[in-house]
Structure 1
Amino acid sequence: MNDRRQPVLGILGGGQLARMLALAAAPLGVRALVVDSAADACAGQVAELVKADWTDYAALEAFAGQVDVVTFDFENVPADTAHWLAKRVAVFPAPRALAVAQDRLAEKTLFRECGLQTPDFKAIDTRAELDEALALIGAPAILKTRRLGYDGKGQFRIRSLADADAAWAALGAQASAHGLILEAFVPFERELSVIAVRGRHGEFRTWPLTQNWHTDGVLSLSLAPAPDVGALQDRATELARTLAEKLDYVGVFALELFVKNGELLGNEMAPRVHNSGHWTIEGAVTSQFENHVRAVIGLPLGDTSARGLSAMFNWIGELPDADPVLEAVDAHWHDYGKQPRPGRKVGHATVCAPNASVLMERLGGIAHALGRDQQVDAALRAVAK
């Protein structure tokens, strides 16, 4: 008789990433226990859910006693909570990685320390400092909150110096609490991301580079492997490895990159499984979710090779009609079980194919039905190069 105890993975945050982590954990014999402040968090549909705030230390104490390791569903879990838990149970990635990724200034500084160039940037705490930074960096530029910003939130694009007053009116109130950062606008050629994973004993792997398209600052379409990347794949892997080792990182993370004049510029790091890696569920030998569970539990990492080509559509606000996807060959539908709401990620779909010509045919057949003609045309042009 096998009396091996089932490992328990604790997940802070109960959104769709926790949901997909829990689904990936089950076949590995790992049970997920999720903590979220919302009783209806969608991960609770597939895993046990504990309703608690991040400062409810009595509930977190009980949670820590029930799990073998803790990980994150999203990066805005307070670093203080992560540090508190790390004194009681293994926490991966380490709270330091979470803290760095929560602060855009610390993040950009770390990128440069690791040899990853970034757009010019400057910390902003006062209205006068904004004027000084604009004089140095110029316009266009983007004023951002240093903390609590993601999916295009907490940002204001300054198209000319005349926009400085409007930018400060929009974000200046947050300067005293968390600080702001001004970043030079990058006229990039395309956006890429590298999804990487590092195990508890230093084993490191990356998935093929992914090309991404955004709408209103939110990811809407990903294509993987990104076409025509050449040496950028090796460079992205090298940078991700350097970053992971510097942070002693354990688990999956994403590095969002701009391509300009054939060189990579660092945009942001996400210390968790990432939207642009959802294609790996059906399109890679081992998904980002399975490998994250493997990494934090201490299991060997799985193969990150792509099975072919994949295009992932992100559903924002509400789900479209599923039939065009469900009727397509090798197409996969994911409903997160969330109520529709403007700006909310409610699901995704992935279309897979063995080669570029077949992917072009399959995408062309569903693009109009999905209302994504323009973005699919951009992806098809990229594939056709």
Structure 2
Amino acid sequence: MSAGSTLLNSLDLPGAPERCRVVVAMSGGVDSSVVAALLKEQGYDVIGVTMQLYDHGATEHRPGSCCAGQDIFDARQAAALLGIPHYVLDYETRFRDKVIDAFAQSYAEGETPIPCVTCNQELKFTDLFDVARDLGADCLATGHYIASRAEGAERALYRAMDPDRDQSYFLFATTRAQLQMLRFPLGEMTKPEVREHARRFGLPNADKADSQDICFVPTGRYSDIVERLAPQAAQPGEIVHIDGRVLGRHSGVMHFTIGQRRGLGLGAAGASAGEPLYVVKIDAAKARVTVGPRSALATRRVVLRDVNWIGPGEMADAGREIAVRVRSTRPPVPAILEMRDGEIVVEFVDDESGVAPGQACVFYDSAEPRARVLGGGFIRSTEAATPAVPSPRAAAG
């Protein structure tokens, strides 16, 4: 074997690009199309694959959708322009079973789900992996804004260079085995740079709007889907103040999320509280929504489920200082990760506000912009910073 044959190319694969086959997950958006174009330009053997995930009739011409209708057409156009093979795979049944049904059930249980994580976890990084292997691919590339680098014999995830585009929150469930085959060419780029590349390549979707998170909700009214798939989420119930007062009634827990302020439907009862009210707890079993002042949203710690660790070594049982994100739109904050009575618990150094069960708690090795992703889990339950104590009047009643 010659010395040159051991050199790694731009994808950290051995050998020249033309000897490496790359499957690109093409959603029809500008990001994945640019990934395919850049890799084709570098000489890789590129194949585009698009997953048709849901009935595209209602979303065919809606900006901000993905993996349906116009988006599949856009992916085909981009692949044709680049001169690469392109396949469309029908995963509607799997997507409905694994993502949409789970989304509805999560709302019915009083949670606030994040279907993008489930989609990556259950379809894109599992079923699509099988397709890539069947096609003889050396790796699978996507248009996510996140970086991956070799760390010895393994690969590690890092936040994207552009903090405004960073998608690490949605990829915490990626496993070590999956990281070995995944590549994210846009992790070191900004969105304007990506669009400029798209124009340079003459891609038809260069100025296409970004996709939205809940791609399968054509009207933007997710409650319609939840009520159809999980009718128990539409059971009427009480809206109560943290001091025990009943302020009103609601038409289903699916209409609420932790931290919500608008659309509570309390009218005069809400105004009489003397300060803005927020949803602080959802008890789906009792169809009860609890509201209170903003201070009642303060959370000290969370208990996690389905935790995935991709940091160095093993996750320690003793307290580990890390940084975490509990919403995709928030920056990482300092926290302590530890095991308590067989449960994985995260305690915030400073109280966090509006933390919702069902959302993700993603781990980083620091709060810096390009920190390493250590993994994460779904929030199973929360513990308030200062437990609410009913007023004597409410207790007496």
Q: Same fold (TM over 0.5)?
A: no
Normalized per residue, which structure has more helix? Answer: 1
* TM-score, normalization by structure 1: 0.29
Larger Rg belongs to: 2
